[in-house]
Amino acid sequence: MTIRIAILGAGRIGQVHARAVASVPGAALVAVAELVAEMAEHMRGQFGCDIREINQIAASDDADAVVICTPTDTHADLIEQFTAAGKAVFCEKPIDLDVERVRACLQKVEAVDGRLMLGFNRRFDPDFMALKAAIDEGRIGDVEMIAITSRDPGPPPYDYITRSGGIFRDMMIHDFDVARWLLGEEVASVQAAASVLTDAEIGKLGDYDSANVILTTASGKHCMITNTRRAAYGYDQRIEVHGSKGAVAASNTHEANIEIADASGYHRPPLLNFFMTRYVAAYANEIAAFVQALTSGSEMPTTGTDGLKALELAEAALQSIETGTAVRTQ
Ligand SMILES: NC(=O)c1ccc[n+]([C@@H]2O[C@H](COP(=O)([O-])OP(=O)(O)OC[C@H]3O[C@@H](n4cnc5c(N)ncnc54)[C@H](O)[C@@H]3O)[C@@H](O)[C@H]2O)c1
């Protein structure tokens, strides 16, 4: 059985997902919809897929599923359109920037018994999966405290920032999801701090570029998340989980796994520079998981509810900054 997939939006993440679809056994890339003609042509040239309008794809008999890679403010409408058309949907995070809009969208998906997977790729990173497996196998006992470091090498374009919903809804939303996944309990309170430290223009656009959050569960487990839009040494993606019997950590991925020692010290190659290279395996794994869920009829591994819960934590973080206090989420 082959799942025939169309890509909506051939930008940064659309190109990554197109490569994943083309490489996953049991999936075929049949079409792309993209507003910029040259980008659509580029994808057709690479993968031999058709170029179609979004409405044509919704009406196409030869597309079983879509991967939504258009800007965030289009996601909820497209999820509703395609699930109503009977297509399975993989959608990039976030579903929308407004919690009520997300709830309304998920109700519509449920009403048509739609299949929806959210693009929380970090759950599919091989290192983070091994870390989660170590927790689930009881290797570190009960989880007590988590530290998630997530630093981008540089900011996205300013026009992306204005549409993205800001650092919490756009960037830290991944870390909120990872936190929920690893804590194994829902978050009961959120305490946040945020500043503009790296680029004054980001502040003028109403966003922050540096943020730290402490999540606390009802039983008192903590997760600390640190984000910045600038790390001079590359894309810094690390997790450490401390438990009652030990700790497990996933460290950074370098361009090569070597270390050179000389008279001036020990030197390693740079970190993989950004998400397009660092999370290649995760993106391929998440598309494979989507295809597997459709082929087998099993539950989606990351759901619309996961998307909603992560967005609620982003909202609580923003509220915490406004009020200067911890915000209860349960
Ligand atoms: N999971 C991740 O790691 C990750 C990484 C980057 C982006 N994202 C998410 O993916 C989405 C896209 O981000 P991006 O960085 O790829 O943006 P982008 O601007 O590079 O790409 C979006 C593309 O969609 C096209 N587009 C816009 N409206 C369209 C429409 N109606 N029909 C067809 N094409 C349309 C644009 O022309 C553009 O090429 C965002 O929601 C973002 O949050 C997720």
Is the per-residue pLDDT at 115 higher than 90? yes
List, chain by chain if needed, residues with CB within 6 Å of any ligand 1 atom: 8-14, 33-36, 39, 54, 69-72, 74, 92-93, 119, 121, 170, 275
Q: Is 165 left (phi over 0), alpha (psi -120 to 50) or beta?
A: left
CA-CA distance, 243 to 140, in Å (whole number)? Answer: 5
- Cα–ligand 1 centroid distance for 185 (angstroms): 31
pLDDT tens across 209-264, in order?
Answer: 999 999 999 999 999 999 999 999 999 999 999 999 999 999 999 999 999 999 99
How much of the chain exceeds pLDDT 90, in percent?
98
pLDDT tens across 134-166, in order?
Answer: 999 999 999 999 999 999 999 999 998 988 899
Each domain of the chain, given as residue ranges in start order, spans 3-114, 123-282+309-328
Mean pLDDT of 91-119: 97
Contacts with 276 (C-beta within 8 Å, 6 or more apart), sequence order: 12, 16
- Cα–ligand 1 centroid distance for 208 (angstroms): 21
The pLDDT-based confidence of 280 (bands split at 50, 70, 90) is very high
Is the per-residue pLDDT at 269 higher than 90? yes
Would the pTM of this model clear 0.85, i.e. be above it?
A: yes
Q: Which atom of ligand 1 is nearest to the CA of 72?
A: 41
Which pLDDT does position 1 carry in this prediction?
A: 86
Mean pLDDT of 306-319: 98
Fold of 3-114: Rossmann fold (3.40.50)
Residue 322: burial class (beta carbons within 10 Å; 0-12, 13-18, 19+): exposed
Mean pLDDT of 184-198: 97
CATH 3.90.1150.10 fits 123-282+309-328, yes or no: no
Mean pLDDT of 271-278: 94
Is the per-residue pLDDT at 94 higher than 90? yes
Q: Are 152 and 192 in contact (CB under 8 A)?
A: no
Which pLDDT does position 163 carry in this prediction?
A: 86
Q: Which one of 7, 32, 35, 38 would you pick to mutate in the ligand 1 pocket, going by the greatest count of ligand atoms within 8 A of its CB?
A: 35
Is the per-residue pLDDT at 283 higher than 90? yes
